[in-house]
Structure 1
Amino acid sequence: MIGLRLDGYDPDLHHDAAVAFCIRARDDELFSPRHQHRKGQLILALHGAITCEVENAMWMVPPQYAVWLPGSLPHSNHVTAGAELCFLFIEPAAVVMPERCCTLKISPLCRELILSLARRTDPERAQMPTQRLIQVLFDELPQQPQEQLQLPVSGHPKIRQMVETMAQEPARWNTLGQWASVFAMSERNLARLVVKETGLSFRRWRHQLQLILALQA
């Protein structure tokens, strides 16, 4: 397996319809700063957890799911130590995929097709068996059901602190009152801030975070 930063490989310099890599996150690369690819990217979680931040939302990817990132979409990635992932890069015109970032529930067949592609060597990628595998994968990928597993976030420091702390200790931080005390502000003002920055009430926002964390467990 290669590292989160692809060991210097740039998929955008190649024009394969699809290319896949199995990734193991090393301790010195648990965070990938904001970047983008010309190609679309599917990130499949195999072991551990990965969080992608895109357009003021955090997309947390549980096992058996993948996050789809359309081409040229800026994003950053954060993974847990020892996480194992599969990256699938797709040429923009090769197959019709969602125009927006989304989470896909990946079927066992689709998962095995992606993993099989990741095991192919450079010479094998140009051979007909691989091209047929890619065509079957392109038939299956658009059929994968979409799930809304994103958490609305913003650059506001209070929202950031709440996300990071609650992700680490979700059972400890259950109430708006707890956070109001931490920030020395009224519950009403904090509730308004959460709605303004995320578009959700604190209860709905916390529930969405808890749902995603439960799927990752």
Structure 2
Amino acid sequence: MDKLNLRPEEGESTPRAVAVLATDPAGDAFIPPHAHRRGQLIHAISGVMMVSAEPGSWVVPTGRGVWVPPGMTHQIRMAGEVKMRTVFVEPGTRADLGADCRVIHVGALLRELIVAAVSLPLDYPPGGRDERVMELILDEIEAAPALSLHVPMPRHARLAALCEALIRDPSQPATLDGWAERLHMNARTLARLFERETGMTFGAWCRQARLLLSLPRLAAGASILEVALAHGYESPSAFTAMFRRTLGVPPSQYLQQKKER
């Protein structure tokens, strides 16, 4: 069954407790604030999303997903071309899915299960292989720990626009003085605003955003030189030093650990 670009309502009114829909929106699309009766895992199999809800806002690149509990208002902005896959879960199906938003790592198994589930009928027969695929998806979501390596987005509109521009092109220079000038405020005021809005300093946010955005490209086989230059670093050694400071290991060792898990 082709479930590409079905309306979200069709994922909320299925006869089964779990449904997976595929959405390939136009570049830089924006889904305005809305809420769903069912809980949902929002995941991009390619591209980068910015998901905002009452508890916070997060950058969600390939390899990450955000669990949004039932009834929570949220909005989604796409950075470029995105292929979004959404798991809808009937309230009360699994208590351990939680009533709070959280960002999780979408590993290879969960990703392939979600991709496979897109082709399953919305009224798949109970007790068979299709239902077991859906149950395993829920098992994997439950087992995935909340990630500390995530990037909160500010709610301040003009500041958020600058953050979104950096996410779309992490190679561009970003300085506190430069952003303050563009926002027509002094650097100290911007520094306080940034920390109040995100809980992070300006420098820490930029480093973490670039690091998070680099992970999918590293995992896809891009060289450290290519990734370093694409994410605003003058050399591979500068990128590797930042990577080691943040994650405790160099990029090559981090990727090897991921493969062994």
Same fold (TM over 0.5): yes
Looking at both structures, which has the greater relative contact order when contacts are Cα pairs under 8 Å and sequence separation is at least 6? 1
1:78 match: secondary structure: strand
Q: Which amino acid aligns with 1:185?
A: M
Q: Is the 2:51–2:75 contact (alpha carbons within 8 Å) kept by the matching residues of 1? A: yes
Q: Which amino acid aligns with 2:202?
A: F
Q: 1:33 to 1:187 in 2, by over 3 A?
A: same
Q: Is residue 20 of structure 1 aligned with residue 23 of structure 2?
A: no
Q: How does 1:69-88 map to 2 (within 5 A)?
A: 69-88=68-87
Q: Is the 1:15–1:91 contact (alpha carbons within 8 Å) kept by the matching residues of 2? A: no
Indicate the percent of aligned positions where both proteins have the same amino acid: 26
Corresponding residue number in structure 1 for 2:154: 153
Q: Which amino acid aligns with 2:4?
A: I
Deviations 1:106-158 (A, max 9, x none): 222222222222211245x124212233233333321113213231412x244
Residues matched between the structures, number: 212
Q: Is residue 40 of structure 1 aligned with residue 39 of structure 2?
A: yes
TM-score, length-normalised on structure 1?
Answer: 0.84
The two structures, once aligned, show a CA RMSD in angstroms of: 2.4
1:145 match: secondary structure: coil
2:97 match: secondary structure: coil
Q: 1:66 to 1:166 in 2, by over 3 A?
A: same
Please state how far the C-alpha of 1:53 moved relative to its aligned partner: 1.5
Q: 1:188 to 1:9 in 2, by over 3 A?
A: closer
Q: Is residue 194 of structure 1 aligned with residue 194 of structure 2?
A: yes
Which ranges of structure 2 fall in alignment gaps of 5 or more residues? 218-261
Which ranges of structure 1 fall in alignment gaps of 5 or more residues? none
Q: How does 1:203-214 map to 2 (within 5 A)?
A: 203-214=203-214
CA distance in 2 between counterparts of 1:189 and 1:100 reads 32
Q: How does 1:107-186 map to 2 (within 5 A)?
A: 107-123=107-123, 125-129=124-128, 130-148=130-148, 149-154=150-155, 156-186=156-186
TM-score, length-normalised on structure 2?
Answer: 0.71
Q: Is the 1:56–1:152 contact (alpha carbons within 8 Å) kept by the matching residues of 2? A: no
Q: 1:161 to 1:62 in 2, by over 3 A?
A: closer
